[in-house]
Structure 1
Amino acid sequence: MTAPQSPRPNQPSAAQLLDTSTAPVRNDNPKQLLGVYLKGMAMGAADIVPGVSGGTIALIAGIYERLINALSSIGPNLWQIFRQEGGIKGFAAIWRHVDATFLLCLLLGIVTSFATLAGIIKHLLDNQPLLIWSFFFGLVVATVFILLSEIKHWNIGRVALFTIGLITAVGVSSLPLLAATPSLPYLFFAGAIAICAMILPGISGSFILLLLGAYDAVLEAVDTMNLSVILTVVAGMATGLLLFTRALKWLLSRYYQATLALLTGFIAGSLVKVWPWKVDVSGALNSEAINNVMPWQYPTGPHWVTTIGLMLIGAVLVSLLSWWGNRTNRV
């Protein structure tokens, strides 16, 4: 990777924005917390769809650095913080240290999306796949262009990292899906792997669940409120998250431009997965099919007006989200 970049005088760089080692404690007002909640809903909606990353939404929305800082602050040192203050003051100190108000609002938004949108998105994936894939295809394309504009001073190393990310994502998207009925220990493992992907921009946690054969089981559990499955997956996610975020924080704070090039490559490669025109081996429409075809080869035709219209809506929405995130960071 390239060496850490030095910020220009009086001009905060992207690396500075993600250098979470000295991030201040936030005192958010209700309006700001509502914004965090809504961004959490957007992350949750994205994570439901195999091929779209909630981490991408967090990065575009301007809350990614705060999220990584908050998650990486959770560790064994919390007990020492509690002992220094003790009692209610100790709990309050821990709450401030981990930015718990922010995490709680974000989590509530994600949970709201899963509780209210899981059934709807599953229905669309099963019955109207062309519509939902077109929307998210436009969203991901716009995301790629937005993130490419954030990478300054392209060099051979960053081009190589972008290419590696792109090829890796295409390769992962082409892997055969597992169809075995998952056990609870397997779901714990799948949750731990998926959350690492979910927090990375460009790598879809739900697609990892799909590859591991756990996606349908998790989505059905959320839809039917199967607490044994839900709690098992959540425990696996919490374990994976605590082990992963510290390394990610280190990379982003010291090698932001190089890491962003790699992650943007992941996002560009995921376009293979969210390509709207899909058929199964028999040529029938299927939201979980892995065979992409050209628009004019689609069984019912390309539907240009509908697909391009939904792509534009997705692109506009993610552009507005990026604008909102940048505006929030300036406040």
Structure 2
Amino acid sequence: MGAADIVPGVSGGTIAFITGIYFRLLEAIGAVPRSVFRHLFRGQLKAFWQACDGTFLLSLLVGIVASIATLASAISYILAQYPILIWSFFFGLIVASVWHVGRQVRHYAPALMLPFLAGAVFSWWVTMLPASELEPSALIFFGAGAVAICAMILPGISGSFILVIMGMYVPVLDAIRAFEIGTLLIFVGGCLAGLLSVARLITWAFRHFHDLVLALLTGFMIGALNKVWPWKETLSWRTNSAGERVPLNEASVSPLSYAEMAGQDPQIVVAVICALLGLSLVLMVEWAGKKEAAN
């Protein structure tokens, strides 16, 4: 789940979903607030641990943190040095996730087109919003954590992709890479606030509107593909906190238009291979999840 959450492609929720632990995760998170008041505040540590499935949550947390810590620097480097190839890989991840989440709909019906189209149009509109030139503040880091964590536990929406849309993906990666404790604590605080407040709502929505929710998520991912399109025209620039000049607002263009504007090789063949690798990775994870469930 940590490996999925660090890249704007497959969400940690998707990994949990296809490996069969998703609803156990939601139940465990949803039980935490209630268990705090019923057991922890009364000194009943063992009862608290059992009520919120503590061993399960701890093992997940350790795995996620370890994966994020080890991958952050590598992802930052690849984004800077090989942007077309890494965004192509992410593009393939999201396409495969669209296919996987769409297949989870139990009963296909014409009525599902409405949430599907609403999700696609809304996410496309979000990807077209101009980025802010303001440097991220503590409040923005907190809000980004709260919003991104909600996406991370939804199958089909990548929390890191939400950070890309918000313009917070690179700042968060930089904070992890530089081990900025204060900034990371603020971000984690936002994650905890968002996670504890939304877990029960997500559980309720899936129980009562399973297919509608999945149709909405599928549409959201399709519209969001615009954001991870590998070939971009830079419309404006900004200077980050390290004094580096980086793109601020970008627009998707064709590979040939990119070659003309940038005067660089669009790397079409290698980009297609990277996209296929991303797609294959999701299919392999799904196959492994099914094999594990069968055993």
TM-score (norm 2): 0.86
Counterparts of 1:1-331 in structure 2, within 5 Å, are: 40=1, 44-50=2-8, 53-82=11-40, 90-281=44-235, 290-299=250-259, 300-331=264-295
Q: Which runs of 5+ in 2 are unaligned?
A: 238-245
The farther-off stretch of 261-270 and 46-55 is 46-55
- The CA deviation string for residues 259-286 of structure 1, in whole angstroms up to 9 with x for no partner, is 1111111122221112122231389xx7
**Take 2:30 and 2:66, find their aligned partners in 1: how far apart are those partners?**
24
**Take 2:233 and 2:73, find their aligned partners in 1: how far apart are those partners?**
22
**Take 1:227 and 1:238, find their aligned partners in 2: how far apart are those partners?**
16
Distance change (3 Å), C-alpha of 1:51 and 1:172: farther
Distance change (3 Å), C-alpha of 1:319 and 1:287: farther
- The alpha-carbon deviation at position 325 of structure 1 amounts to 1.8
**Take 1:50 and 1:289, find their aligned partners in 2: how far apart are those partners?**
18
Find the counterpart in structure 2 of residue 26 from structure 1.
none
- Percent identity over the alignment is 43
| 1:139–1:315 CA contact under 8 A, matched in 2 | yes
- The CA deviation string for residues 7-62 of structure 1, in whole angstroms up to 9 with x for no partner, is xxxxxxxxxxxxxxxxxxxxxxxxxxxxxxxxx3xxx2333334653333333343
- The alpha-carbon deviation at position 252 of structure 1 amounts to 0.8
More strand by share: 2
**Take 2:80 and 2:190, find their aligned partners in 1: how far apart are those partners?**
27
SS in 2 for 1:242: helix
What RMSD in Å do the two structures reach over aligned CA positions? 2.5
**Take 2:225 and 2:236, find their aligned partners in 1: how far apart are those partners?**
23
Distance change (3 Å), C-alpha of 1:221 and 1:319: same
**Take 2:196 and 2:265, find their aligned partners in 1: how far apart are those partners?**
46
Distance change (3 Å), C-alpha of 1:294 and 1:57: farther
**Take 1:295 and 1:61, find their aligned partners in 2: how far apart are those partners?**
36
Query: Residue type matched to 1:327 in 2?
Result: K
- The alpha-carbon deviation at position 301 of structure 1 amounts to 3.8
- The alpha-carbon deviation at position 164 of structure 1 amounts to 1.1
The farther-off stretch of 69-78 and 119-128 is 69-78
Distance change (3 Å), C-alpha of 1:115 and 1:239: same
- The CA deviation string for residues 50-100 of structure 1, in whole angstroms up to 9 with x for no partner, is 4653333333343322222211111134332458xx75xx32222222122
Query: Residue type matched to 1:57 in 2?
Result: I
Q: Which runs of 5+ in 1 are unaligned?
A: 1-39
- The alpha-carbon deviation at position 155 of structure 1 amounts to 1.4
- The alpha-carbon deviation at position 249 of structure 1 amounts to 0.5
